[in-house]
Amino acid sequence: MTPSGVAGAAERAHRFVAAHGDVLQRARADALLDPAAVAAVDALLPPVDTPVGAFVALGWLDALRVRRGPRVERAVATLGGVQHVDGAWILGDERDEAAEIATTAAVAGLLAKTACVRKSVLDAAGDWLGARWSPDRVQGGDLGLIAGYASFFANVDHDLSDAGLQWCGRELERGFRTGALDALAVARVFLRCDAQGLPGARFRAEEILLTLLGQQVDDGSFASAVDPPDRVEATLDALAALHRLARWGS
C-alpha cells in the first residue's frame, strides 16, 4: 500500500467521523491529523474526577500521544487514589477475577506511559498481576486479558515482562491467523503497547496495516466484529492506527 493509499483511507475515515461524530469525537479526529488541534480536545474532555472518566480520558489522550499536562496529572491522581490496597483496580463492571486482571493490567499499562505516575502505584499493580500471571490466562484467547497483559508487560519493567510478552504475542497472532481477532483488534493492542509488533508474533505493522485497510467500508468507517463499540469510536481507533502503523511500516 502506497503512502497516498493510506492517506486516502485516513481522509475517508476523517470525513466519516466529521459527519457522524459528536463534537468531542470530531475534535479527536482533527487532532489525529493535526497535533495543533490537541488543545481543542483538552477543552472538550469531561471531568476526570471519577475513575471511569479518568481512564477513558487518559486513553483518548494517549491515542493523541498526550502523556503530560494538568489534565493527565488529574486523571493519574484520580486513578491512583482508587487503587485497592492490594494493587488492583475495579472500575465498576468486573464480574470475575479475569475481568479484574484485564482492568488492572489495562490501567497500569496506561498509567505507565504518563510522566507523572508514582512508582509505588506501578509496583503494587505489578505485584498483584504477577501473582496471578500464567500462560493459561492468555491461551484461552480472551482479548481483554491478552491486551491488558501485553500493555502492562510492554510499558512496565517487570520480572515477567519478557516471558509474558512472548506468550501474549503468540496468542495475539494465533487469534489473528485463525480469524478470532481482526486487524483492528490487533492494531489496538499495538497502540496500547506503543509497539509495531510483539515478541512471539511473526506479523509486523505492514501486514496488519494492509489487512486493516481491507476492513474499511465504502462510507469510510471501520468496525470490529471482535470488540464492537459504535462505528465512530472504531473509526477513530482505526484512524490512529493508520497513522502509527504506516509510520512503523515505512
Q: What is the per-residue pLDDT for 248? A: 65
Q: Let me know whether 213 and 170 are in one domain.
A: yes
Q: Let me know whether 153 and 125 are in one domain.
A: no
- Residue 62: pLDDT band with limits 50, 70, 90: very high
| pLDDT at 2 exceeding the cut of 60 | no
Give the Cα separation of 130 and 141 in Å (integer). 19
Q: Which of 66-80, 102-116, 136-150, 191-205 has the lowest mean pLDDT?
A: 191-205
Specify whether the CB–CB gap between 16 and 221 falls below 8 A.
yes
* pLDDT tens-digit series, residues 128-171: 999 999 999 999 899 999 999 999 999 999 999 999 999 999 99
Question: Which of 44 and 225 is assigned the larger pLDDT?
Answer: 44
All three cell numbers of 59, joined, read: 486513553
| pLDDT at 181 exceeding the cut of 80 | yes
Q: Let me know whether 222 and 158 are in one domain.
A: yes
- The verdict on residue 39 lying in a domain is no
- Within 13 Å and on the Cβ side, how many CA atoms surround 152? 32
Angle at 87 between CA 109 and CA 165, to 5 degrees: 35
What separation in angstroms does the CA of 92 have from each of 53, 95, 227, 244? 12, 9, 19, 31
Q: What is the per-residue pLDDT for 192? A: 94
The number of folded domains in the chain is 2
Q: Let me know whether 104 and 17 are in one domain.
A: no
CB neighbours of residue 214 within 10 Å: 9
Q: Let me know whether 118 and 174 are in one domain.
A: no
Q: Let me know whether 246 and 147 are in one domain.
A: yes
Average pLDDT over residues 46-55: 94
Q: Please list, in sequence order, all residues whose beta carbon lies within 8 angstroms of the beta carbon of residue 192, skipping any fewer than 6 positions away.
A: 106, 109, 110, 147, 150, 151, 154
Q: Let me know whether 128 and 179 are in one domain.
A: no
Q: Which of 132, 153, 175 is the last residue of a domain?
A: 132
All three cell numbers of 85, joined, read: 490496597
Q: Let me know whether 86 and 155 are in one domain.
A: no
| pLDDT at 225 exceeding the cut of 80 | no
Domain that holds residue 175: 1-22+143-250
- Residue 3: pLDDT band with limits 50, 70, 90: low
- The verdict on residue 82 lying in a domain is yes
| pLDDT at 249 exceeding the cut of 80 | no
| pLDDT at 204 exceeding the cut of 70 | yes
Q: Which of 79, 113, 132 is the last residue of a domain?
A: 132
| pLDDT at 200 exceeding the cut of 70 | yes
User: What is the average pLDDT score of the chain?
Assistant: 92
| pLDDT at 25 exceeding the cut of 90 | yes
Q: Which of 102, 132, 162 is the last residue of a domain?
A: 132
